[in-house]
Structures are given as structure tokens and as C-alpha cells.
């Protein structure tokens, strides 16, 4: 980006600040710093010329003299209109060089990129790691919360398994592992693998207790957890991974199918989860 927007004596960051103030009415320097994703001192340096040019005004909040919210002046609103005029013209000139189909393609691409940026921001700081004893209470709450959300708390469901309250201890044996997804110190999901109970084939494992909070869905966190579980299953020498779910858990089933699981006609092994009515298997 150029150091200044053409003909406006305004940096891109200052334009951004004016746009945010227009959208919010008034903001403190600290609030603007968060929106601009810079530290407070950088935000102050960005805003100082705008105050000197009379584009912004500031006065103490009567309720708290320490807070001095910023507002656009009439001159600031005029500058904002000029910013939009310049930006709109730049976009218009570029789009005029494209056909109708090409413009539709650009708009579709921008929407896809926006969603990808949202996911990338949500995934920042997400860590997939082995479960620890300190994670047990959080993971138990997630399991019970998610199972109840999907009306899967009755008899014959995994919510009643004894391991729910002590997941870390339940997955310490050979050929089993449980992983949690952690973001900013908060556990937001988990999933694990273990030998399939009741199976005559020792090389069949089960994907177990795969759950994520609503805030962790649709971002790729479930996929990361599942891929980590499958990698652990392969490392342990399993040849096939089996899982049980419910037909109305559409988002979960879509994830399983996307990673190669195929539906099968009947349950395998003896898990005790008679309420499950969807079964899948994946050759590892």
C-alpha cells in the first residue's frame, strides 16, 4: 500500500481509524487500537495528525474523566466522504476492466477469502495436545454439554461411560490416546482412539468421545483433532478405525465422510452404546 491515500494526505491506517469511528460513533484510543490491531502507542501516533487537522475531537467522559472518547468532526466526516469517493473510484476503474462473469468471480473469491481469514483468526493459538489430568473436568463438561445438545443423553449413550470424569486416566494404556484442542488456555474439544471393545480383531480401533463446543465448529478444529487421532491409530499399528454416531449429527457425519470414513450397515464390537444408529469404518 502507498504511504498515503492518493490526494487525501491520509495514511491507510488513518483512513481505517476514520471509518471505524464513523461506524461506532465514538471510541477511546484503546478501543481503536484493538480495532486497528496495533498497540496503544502506535494508535496514538496515528490519531495525533487527525486531531491536529481538526478531523477528530476529544473530550473527557463526564462519568469518568480519565476516558476521552474520540469523535468525528464535520471536517472529519467530509474527509471520510472523500476517502470513500477515492476508494470507490479505484474499485470502479478496476472492475470496469472485467466482464460480468469475471466480476462475479472476484466477488465470490472475496467472500471465500473473508471466510478463510475468519477461520485463520479463530484458529490462531489453537493447540492439539495429549490430554492431562488437569483437563478432565473441562472435558467432562464438554462431553455432557455436547451430548445433551444433540439429545444423546439417554440410556445406551457414551455420556454414561465411567471414563467421562477421568479421561486422562482412561487413555494411558497401550495403543490408546486422547487429545484435546486448547485455545487461549481453554479446552474447546477432544477426541481419542482405543482398541475396539468386543472385537476379535486386535487391529481394529474405535474413534471415541469426539466432541467440540459450538464455538469450535466450522473452523477446521474438528478436522485437526480427527487427523491427530488417525495418525495415532496408524502409529499404533491399527488397520481399521471404527466409529459410532447418530444420524441426526449431520455436521459430525460430514466431517467423517470428508476424511474417508464409509457408512456400514451394522455395529462392530460391543461398545454398549445401543442408542447409536450410525456406524462408520475407515481402512488405515
> What is the structure's pLDDT at 98?
94
Which one of 10-14, 35-39, 211-215, 277-281 scores highest in mean pLDDT? 277-281
Work out the pLDDT band at 131, boundaries 50, 70, 90: very high
Domain ranges of the chain: 12-97, 126-283
Name the nearest CA neighbour of 127 among 224, 210, 226.
224
For residues 247 and 270, give the distance between their C-alpha atoms in angstroms, rounded to a whole number.
19
Task: Enumerate residues 6+ apart whose C-beta is below 8 A from 69.
Answer: 26, 27, 28, 58, 59, 61
Q: Is the dihedral angle over the CA atoms 167, 169, 174, 180 positive or is it negative?
A: positive
* C-alpha grid cell, residue 161: 461411560
* C-alpha grid cell, residue 29: 484510543
Q: Is the pLDDT assigned to residue 1 strictly greater than 60?
A: no
DSSP classification of residue 190: E
Residues 217-260: tens digit of each pLDDT = 888 889 999 999 999 999 999 999 999 999 888 889 999 999 99
List, in sequence order, every residue forming a beta bridge with 244; answer none if it has no partner.
279
Residues 6-54: tens digit of each pLDDT = 667 788 899 999 999 999 988 888 889 888 888 888 989 999 999 999 9
> What is the structure's pLDDT at 158?
83
> CB pairs under 8 A, 24+ apart, for 166-175?
166/136, 167/131, 167/135, 167/136, 167/139, 167/140, 167/192, 167/209, 168/131, 168/132, 168/133, 168/135, 168/136, 169/133, 171/131, 174/236, 175/205, 175/236, 175/237, 175/238
Same fold: 12-97 with 126-283:
no
> What is the structure's pLDDT at 95?
93
> What is the structure's pLDDT at 143?
93
The CATH superfamily label for domain 126-283 reads Gcn5-related N-acetyltransferase (GNAT) (3.40.630.30)
Task: Enumerate residues 6+ apart whose C-beta is below 8 A from 284.
Answer: 230, 233, 234, 238, 239, 240, 241
Class of the domain covering 12-97:
mainly alpha
* C-alpha grid cell, residue 188: 474447546
Q: Give this prediction's pTM.
A: 0.65
Residues 154-206: tens digit of each pLDDT = 888 888 888 999 999 999 988 999 999 998 889 999 999 999 999 999 999 99
Q: Is the pLDDT assigned to residue 125 strictly greater than 60?
A: yes
> What is the structure's pLDDT at 113?
93
Amino acid at each position: 500500500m502507498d504511504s498515503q491515500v492518493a490526494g487525501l494526505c491520509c495514511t491507510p491506517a488513518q483512513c481505517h481509524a476514520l471509518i471505524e469511528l464513523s461506524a461506532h460513533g465514538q471510541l477511546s484510543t484503546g478501543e481503536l487500537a484493538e480495532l486497528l490491531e496495533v498497540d496503544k502507542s502506535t494508535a496514538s501516533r496515528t490519531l495525533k495528525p487527525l486531531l491536529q487537522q481538526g478531523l477528530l475531537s476529544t473530550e473527557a467522559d463526564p462519568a469518568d474523566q480519565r476516558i476521552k472518547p474520540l469523535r468525528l468532526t464535520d471536517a472529519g466526516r467530509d474527509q471520510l466522504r472523500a476517502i470513500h469517493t477515492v476508494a470507490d473510484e479505484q474499485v470502479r476503474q478496476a472492475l470496469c476492466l472485467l466482464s460480468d462473469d469475471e466480476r462475479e468471480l472476484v466477488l465470490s473469491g472475496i467472500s471465500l477469502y473473508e471466510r478463510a481469514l475468519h477461520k485463520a483468526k479463530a484458529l490462531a493459538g489453537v493447540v492439539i495436545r495429549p490430554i492431562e489430568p488437569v483437563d478432565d473436568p473441562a472435558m467432562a463438561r464438554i462431553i455432557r454439554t455436547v451430548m445433551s445438545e444433540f439429545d444423546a443423553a439417554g440410556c445406551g449413550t457414551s455420556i454414561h461411560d465411567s471414563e467421562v470424569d477421568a479421561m486422562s486416566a482412561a487413555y494411558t494404556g497401550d495403543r490408546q490416546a486422547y487429545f484435546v484442542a486448547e485455545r487461549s488456555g481453554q479446552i474447546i474439544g477432544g477426541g481419542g482412539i482405543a482398541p475396539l471393545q468386543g472385537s476379535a480383531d486386535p487391529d481394529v480401533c474405535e474413534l471415541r468421545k469426539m466432541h467440540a463446543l459450538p464455538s469450535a465448529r466450522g473452523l477446521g478444529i474438528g478436522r485437526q483433532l480427527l487427523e491427530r487421532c488417525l495418525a495415532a491409530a496408524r502409529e499404533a499399528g491399527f488397520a481399521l478405525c471404527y466409529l459410532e454416531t447418530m444420524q441426526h449429527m449431520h455436521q459430525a457425519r460430514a466431517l467423517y465422510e470428508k476424511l474417508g470414513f464409509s457408512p456400514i450397515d451394522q455395529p462392530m464390537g460391543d461398545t454398549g452404546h445401543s442408542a447409536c444408529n450410525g456406524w462408520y469404518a475407515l481402512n488405515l
